[in-house]
Structure 1
C-alpha cells in the first residue's frame, strides 16, 4: 500500500486542498484511495451566449457547492452582455472559490458596466499559470469603464504565472505604480500581451520591467498619455509593437531579442507634415523620439516593419539604425491604400544588414503609377542593392503591371547573390494567369503561385 492511502480520509482531503489540478492528478495516480476522495475538473466554463447553461447565479451556486477537495484545471467566464455592477460580488465569490481549487488557467471575458476591481485573492494565487483578462466587450470602455487594477495587496505574489494577457485594463496608480508592482509579483512571467491600457498618473506609467519576460505583444499601450516608456526586458526574444510613439524611450534593454514586428504610429497631435521647397514631405518628429527603440534592435534576427509611419520613423532617425549582424529575414509590409508609402529607409537599413538572406515585400512593389518605368528617388536608383547579400526575394501581392515588372528587373539585375524570386499573385477579375508579366532571369529561379 502507498503511503498516501494509509492516511486518514480527512488528512488526504486536507492535503489535496492545497494542490493545483496538475499536482492533484499526480496524487490520484499514486494513491488508489485518493481517487475516490477528490475530483479533477479539467475545464469549468460559463458563457452567457449559451442559453443551455442557465443563469449565472445558478452556475455560481453550483461551483461553490462542489466538494472542497475538487480541483479545477481551467476556468473560463464569458459574460459579453454588460454585467450589472450589483453582480460583481457574485463574480468575485465564484472567482475566489475557483482560486482556492488550484486553478491553472484562468480567463475572464466580461462586458463591464462600470469599474470592476479584482479581489485581492487573485493577486496571491500560487497555482495559476495562465491568466487572460478581457474587458473589450464593455460598452464605452474608452471612457473609464472596464477592469481596474488599483491597489495590490502587500503580499501580492503569483509565483507560477507564466502567461498574462491584459485587454482593456485601467491602472489607477493611487499608491504607487500598480502595473510595475503586478509585474514584480510575477517572478516567472514569460509572455505578456497588452491591448487597450489606460493610466491615471503619467509619472508612474510606461515602465515595463521584467527580467524573465520572453514574449511581449503591445497594442494600444497608450504611451501618448505619458512622456517616456521604459522597456527593461533583457530576456525578451519576441517583440510585437503596434502603438503610438511616445516622447521618448528612456530605457531600452532588448539584448536577447530574436524577432521583432513594428507598426509605429504617430498620434494626431504629432501627425502633421513638414514640406521642403521641392514638394517632398517628412513627418514632424519633434514630439516623438523612437531613437533608443531603434538602437535596441541590433541583435534581432527576424524583423517585420509595417506601414508608412514606421517607414518615416526609420528614415527620420536613420542615424540610429544599428548594424544588425544577426538579421537574416526582413519583411516590409505595405498598405495598398497608402499612396505615399515611399521606402526612403530601405537603403539605410539594408546597408546595416550584412548577413541578410531573405527580403519579403508583403504587398505590392512600390513604384510611381504616373511614371511606371521610372525609379522613385527614395530608392536612389537601387544602387544600394549592389552590396546587398540577399539570396531570396519574395513578393506577396504581385500584379504583373508594367511598373512592377520594371522595378522587379532592378532587384534581379542588381542583387549580386540572388538565387530565388518567389512571386505570389492574387487572381483578380480580368487577370489572365498565362499573360501575367514576369521578367526573365538567368542567374536566379522565379516561381509564381496564385490564390483567389
Structure 2
C-alpha cells in the first residue's frame, strides 16, 4: 500500500498533527524516520493529565517538559490547552506549569485554555505583569486563577471563567486590562467558587455576555452590569434582591433563565388570591430593575420559571417598544400569570414563539389563556362579553405564531383555538408536533388544528 500521507510536505503534516492531542502526535515519531522530527512543527498543544494511566505522577509533567524542549526552535505556538490535577506539596510542578504558559505566550500564543481538577489546591498564575500582544482567547477553569498586579491583553476578545477561584481584585484587573473584549462567559456552579465574577461586569467593549450561576445561597448578592456595547445577554441564575443594569441601550437579545431559591413558594401561592395584595409573603427578590434594564431589546427568550417570576418578583413591566420576537418555554409546574401584561407591554410584537403549550393553570393566566380553575369563593365568573372586551390577544399585532412540542392534548387544542380565534393580525402559524407522536396520530392532530376557526382571513397553518 502506498503511503500517501508521508509524502505530504512537512508543513502540511505539522498542521495535521496540530489537530490531534499532543500525546497522539508524539506517538507518530515511532512510525518511521520520516515522522521522527515532525513534532517540532506543530503549533497547537493539548495536554490532558486525566488521560494518563496514573494521574498525578511525574510522567505527565516529564512528557510536557520534553515536548516543550522539542519545540525550543519552533517560532510560533498558536494554541495551548492544559488540563491537570494539582497536588499539594509539589511547588516545583506549579513552577513548571507557569514556565510552560509563559513560554507559549512568548511564542505568539493566541488561545490559552487552562483547567485544574478541583482538589482544594489552587493553581495561581503569579506575575507582576500579565501581558501578551497576541492572546485572543482565554479560558480559566476549575482551580486556575490569576494573581497579578497588572494585566494588559490588547488583543484579547474572548474570556471564559468556569467556576474558578478568581477573587474580586484580580477579576477586576483582568477585565480592565482587556480593552477590546467582546465575549465573556462566566459559570459559577461549585460552592467553593467565589461568586464575584457573575455579580459584577463592567466593560465598554463587551458585546456578548453569558452568565450561569447555580449558587442558591447568593440571594442577597447585588448584580451589577454596565456594558454600553452589549448586544446579547444570556443570564441564568437564582434571583437576588438587587439588580443594577445600566447603559444597555445597544442590547438586542436577552435570554433569561431565572430561578427562585425557595421552590416551595410555587406550591404555597399557586392560586390567585395573593396577587391582589402585592408580592407574596416570603419573596424578597426583585427583578424590576433587571427587566427595566433590558427594555430596549428586540428579542426576548424566557424559561418557564422566568415567565412566572416576571409576575412574582417584578413590581412593574416596562413597555418593550422595540420587541419584535418573544420566545417562551412552558411546563406543568409554572403558570402564565405574566402573559397578559407582558403581551400588552409589547405593542410592536411580530413573532410569538412558544415551546410547549401545557402550563400550570391559575386564575391569573388571564385572557392569554382560555383555561381556568374552579372559581374561588366570593369571585364572580367573567362573562364572555367581558372576556372579549378585555382580552389582551385582541389588541396584539402578532403575525407569526410558532409552536413546538405540540402534543394535541385537550388543553393544547383549546389553547390553539383561543390563539386562532383572538389574534386578528395572524398570518403564519408554524406547528412542530412532538417527536414522540406516531404518524397516524400526527395526521389526526393536524386535522384537528386545520379545522379550528381563524379570526384572520390571512392565517396559514404550516406543520414543520
| Match for residue 312 of structure 2 among 312, 316, 328 | 316
Name the structure 2 match of 1:328: 324
Give the secondary structure class of the aligned counterpart of 1:213: coil
Give the secondary structure class of the aligned counterpart of 1:55: helix
Name the structure 2 match of 1:387: 395
Conserved 8 A contact 2:219-2:241: no
Give the secondary structure class of the aligned counterpart of 2:429: strand
Pairing 1:74–2:75 present: no
| Match for residue 58 of structure 1 among 63, 73, 86 | 63
2:221 & 2:441 partners in 1: Cα distance?
53
Q: Which runs of 5+ in 2 are unaligned?
A: 1-39, 54-58, 363-368, 376-381
**Alignment CA distance shift 1:203-1:215 (3 Å):** closer
Give the secondary structure class of the aligned counterpart of 2:206: coil
Name the structure 2 match of 1:196: 188
Pairing 1:179–2:162 present: no
Name the structure 2 match of 1:342: 335
TM-score (norm 2): 0.74
Give the secondary structure class of the aligned counterpart of 1:260: strand
State the Cα distance separating 1:201 from its structure 2 match: 8.4
Name the structure 2 match of 1:36: none
State the Cα distance separating 1:267 from its structure 2 match: 2.0
**Alignment CA distance shift 1:57-1:387 (3 Å):** same
Give the secondary structure class of the aligned counterpart of 2:62: helix
Residues 175-205 of structure 1: CA distance to partner in whole angstroms, max 9, x if unpaired?
xx32222211111111000001778988998
Name the structure 1 match of 2:254: 260
1:221 & 1:187 partners in 2: Cα distance?
29
State the Cα distance separating 1:269 from its structure 2 match: 9.3
Give the secondary structure class of the aligned counterpart of 2:414: helix
State the Cα distance separating 1:367 from its structure 2 match: 6.7
1:169 & 1:212 partners in 2: Cα distance?
23
- Listed as ranges, the matches of 1:106-255 within 5 Å are 106-121=112-127, 123-135=130-142, 146-149=143-146, 151-153=147-149, 155-173=150-168, 177-196=169-188, 206-220=199-213, 222=215, 224=218, 226-255=220-249
- What number of residue pairs does the alignment pair up? 387
| Match for residue 93 of structure 1 among 99, 104, 111 | 99
Pairing 1:376–2:376 present: no
- Listed as ranges, the matches of 1:341-420 within 5 Å are 341-366=334-359, 368=361, 375-376=371-372, 383-420=391-428
Pairing 1:432–2:441 present: yes
1:416 & 1:389 partners in 2: Cα distance?
8
2:343 & 2:197 partners in 1: Cα distance?
38
1:364 & 1:251 partners in 2: Cα distance?
31
2:261 & 2:360 partners in 1: Cα distance?
28
**Alignment CA distance shift 1:239-1:445 (3 Å):** same
**Alignment CA distance shift 1:147-1:44 (3 Å):** closer
Give the secondary structure class of the aligned counterpart of 1:102: coil
Q: Which runs of 5+ in 1 are unaligned?
A: 1-38, 136-145
- Listed as ranges, the matches of 1:10-49 within 5 Å are 41-48=42-49
Deviates more, 1:250-259 or 1:56-65: 56-65
Give the secondary structure class of the aligned counterpart of 2:65: helix
Give the secondary structure class of the aligned counterpart of 1:404: helix
TM-score (norm 1): 0.76
2:460 & 2:156 partners in 1: Cα distance?
49
Conserved 8 A contact 2:240-2:286: yes
| Match for residue 84 of structure 1 among 76, 82, 87 | 87
RMSD: 3.4
